[in-house]
Amino acid sequence: MLVKSIGKIDINVTIISENGRLNLVKTSLNTADLIDNPVLLADVFESVIGPFGFYFMVIAAIISTLIAINAALGSAVAVITALARDRFIHEKIRATKTKSNLPTLGLILTVVLVLLFTIFGGNILIAEITNFIYFFALAFVNY
């Protein structure tokens, strides 16, 4: 990929201070540093409000990732449990513990599948499988 550097770019950010005033902060970043930067948003935030901005964005990204993982695993367990309920896969997967009402085997199966795809599959394979499952589910529901 051929990328032409255009030098520096200016970023204007409006910040509302505690006393209600609008403050305009202007910062310049070198475009060569922005290309293929894995922490671009954190770097931009750091140049606007200082080192606190960098760490704030890193922590926000970690929290966002953990929330997404929690939601994905929760919904995947629900899908596997529903498949077992409808007898598409073995019904033992649907079995729950009486105390917590948690489908333990379904959760373990989901975590093992996620770990296998994460460890042995690349990003392209995982994206293709996700797209296939999504479109297959749409076709199955609308059939």
DSSP code string of 41-69 = HHHHHHHHH-HHHHHHHHHHHHHHHHHHH
Q: Are 19 and 3 in contact (CB under 8 A)?
A: no
What are the tens digits of pLDDT across the range 90-136? 888 888 777 777 888 888 888 888 888 888 887 788 888 878 887 88
What's residue 65's pLDDT?
87
pTM, full prediction: 0.53
Q: Which residue has the tokens 């749409």?
A: 138
108 three-class SS? helix
Fill in the amino acid letter for 140: F
Q: Which residue has the tokens 């999504």?
A: 134
